[in-house]
Chain A
Amino acid sequence: MPEMIDQIFVVIKHWLMGYVPGALQPIASAILSVVPVMIAFPLLFAITTVLERKGLGRMQNRYGPNRAGWFGILQPMADGVKSLTKEDIVPRTADQLVHYLAPVVMVIASFLVYAVLPIGRNMVIANLNAGVLFFFAVGSVVELSVFMAGWSSHSKYSLLGAMRAIAQMISYEMPLVLSSVVAIMAAGSLSTVSIVNMQAGYTGIWPHWYVFTPWGITGFIIFMIAATAESNRCPFDMPEGESEIIAGYFIEYSGFKFALFFLAEYLGMFATSAMAITFFLGGWAAPFSFLTWIPSYFWFFAKLLTIIFMFIWVRGTLPRLRMDQLMNFAWKFMLPLSLINIVGAGIWHFMAAGFARWGVVSLLIVLSCVLLSRGLRRNKWFHVRTYRYAS
């Protein structure tokens, strides 16, 4: 029975495919795989917006939305109706075609990456040989759409926001990719499905997730920090910086196009979080061996919501970084640490299993972490801490 519930969506798809004539089978299969994903994740986006506003409200000692529906749970509906009925204003000097295309390209790229995400057992749209490469390649198209949006608006604020966003996204893409290399090395495959399969199995009740190794936890933390920066969220929300450049690259957008940018941003966040789950948190596997009877997709979404909660928590806690701090952190700390982490994963692979490799790899990573964080500071060694504000 648990297997039946676990595979229920796969079974339903096969049952529906039985009614489709042979010639239409490939396209029907694609539609049946894609449509549920395209419904589920925007729905998750709607839920997340209200959760985020409620959570932030709680952290900031206020109520948050509480008028639409019970405790404000119908707020996304109200927001959707509002953005659909708002007038779509395009600046007179804007480049009409590029201005129109930018949100479209962004949403298409954000949806395309979901093709390789394993949502549950046997539940992935396309099990590509180079799935991870596909994810990062399509994800990089978002940067181009950010440039299109910022440039075509012909506004100084949006251009500044686009330049900030692109500089930040390119800088943090390096640690994002390099921190995921350890999981690829350990799994020996670029396919997301086989990375998840390599983390299957339990020792006692504990799973074999990569996050439970020294290089895995380091890679996971680097990946999550870089993912926060990639999705332009606090404390890396320089591109939006409401108090400095109003709203960044999508300042000249209104109505539904603005909502599309908002949607694409959240979809990107979900996709990178899902990739972190795939690389380090065992994908759809249950956290304990005695919980495997619960369906795999439940665990996937439970992990995703936990990571989203972490994102909201960080946003409510940390202040915004300055641009030079942001760049220094990416290039002088995250990048070297992720390179050292790859070396650590290599050492781990070639040493015999046991406590010795735990000690060696942990020592390597902790030592380099301390030295690199020292190197970030102006006075290199241990002094009384002094604070410098705007220079």
Chain B
Amino acid sequence: MTISFLLLAAITIIGTAAAMTLKNLVHCVLALTLGLVGLAALYLQLGAQFVGFTQILVYVGAVAILAAFAVMMTRSANQTLTQTASSFRASGALIAVLVFAVLAWAIYSGTSKQPILSAQPEGTVGQVGVALMHHFVLPLEVIGLLLTAALIGAGILAMDEHRGNR
């Protein structure tokens, strides 16, 4: 529980809480991005450089932009949240509490059985790459195939049918 951990945790929690409570949807996206940056910083604090930088690259560089554009394209950016959102508040809180309970139970029951490693495992980028190329090569290929299929599908959906493939 160092000061840096507390600061980063505070940033993450404030960002995600603001993402749920702010009125303007673009502000929500930006607040969510702040939360994701805080999460990436927490990964970095744990020594997981690859996960931390990939988190920034994917979530801040791509997903945040995608979400912002989705918000802008589908509705007016000035439109504030209407009353519909608040009617789900009770059920949403219930679901959140249940998910938190399940996760907390899993973590507590998991840690007691396994011995806590005294030495910090080194998750360098090189080791991650070696593991991906040797042990997990089949899942990697399957994911690659899936993403390629998704990319081609997105291209076909976006293609203008009347004017041929441009």
Q: Do A and B come from one complex?
A: yes
Contact segment of A56-64, A140-148, A205-213, A361-369:
A140-148
Interface residues on chain A, number (Cβ under 8 Å) = 24
**Distance between B83 CB and nearest chain A CB, rounded to angstroms:** 23
Q: Would you call A141 and B60 a contact (CB within 8 A)? A: yes
Complex: chain A residue closest to B77, CB-CB:
A151
Complex: chain B residue closest to A191, CB-CB:
B125
Q: A138 at interface (Cβ–Cβ under 8 A)?
A: yes
Q: Would you call A137 and B54 a contact (CB within 8 A)? A: yes
Q: A238 at interface (Cβ–Cβ under 8 A)?
A: no
Q: Would you call B61 and A130 a contact (CB within 8 A)? A: no
Q: Would you call B62 and A147 a contact (CB within 8 A)? A: no
- Cβ proximity bits A169-211 to B, threshold 8 Å, 1 near / 0 not: 0100100000000000000011000000000000000000000
Q: A134 at interface (Cβ–Cβ under 8 A)?
A: yes
CA distance A141 to B53 in the complex (A): 12
Q: Would you call A140 and B62 a contact (CB within 8 A)? A: yes
Contact segment of B4-12, B26-34, B97-105:
B26-34
- Cβ proximity bits B47-62 to A, threshold 8 Å, 1 near / 0 not: 0011001101100111
CA distance A129 to B57 in the complex (A): 16
**Which residue in A141, A148, A166, A324 is a CB contact (below 8 Å) of B56?**
A141
- Cβ proximity bits A273-285 to B, threshold 8 Å, 1 near / 0 not: 0000000000000
A140: B residues at CB distance < 8 A? 56-57, 60-62
CA distance A163 to B73 in the complex (A): 11
B13: A residues at CB distance < 8 A? none
Of the candidates B24, B30, B64, the one having the most CB atoms from chain A within 10 angstroms of its own CB is: B30
Chain B interface size, under 10 / 10 to 19 / 20 to 34 / 35 or more:
20 to 34
CA distance A130 to B129 in the complex (A): 11
**Which residue in B27, B56, B77 is a CB contact (below 8 Å) of A137?**
B56
Q: B81 at interface (Cβ–Cβ under 8 A)?
A: no
Q: A371 at interface (Cβ–Cβ under 8 A)?
A: no
Q: A326 at interface (Cβ–Cβ under 8 A)?
A: no
**Distance between A24 CB and nearest chain B CB, rounded to angstroms:** 17
**Distance between B76 CB and nearest chain A CB, rounded to angstroms:** 12
Which residues of A6-45 have CB atoms within 8 Å of chain B's CB atoms?
none
Known contacts A98-B30, A151-B68; A130 and B50 CB within 8 A of each other: yes
B24: A residues at CB distance < 8 A? 95
Could you list which residues of chain A lie within 8 angstroms of chain B, going by C-beta atoms?
Answer: 95, 98, 128-130, 133-134, 136-138, 140-141, 143-144, 147-148, 151, 163, 166, 170, 173, 189-190, 324
**16 pairs of residues in contact across A and B, judged by CB atoms under 8 Å:** A95-B24, A129-B125, A130-B50, A130-B125, A133-B50, A133-B54, A137-B60, A141-B60, A143-B61, A143-B65, A147-B68, A151-B72, A151-B77, A166-B65, A173-B61, A190-B126
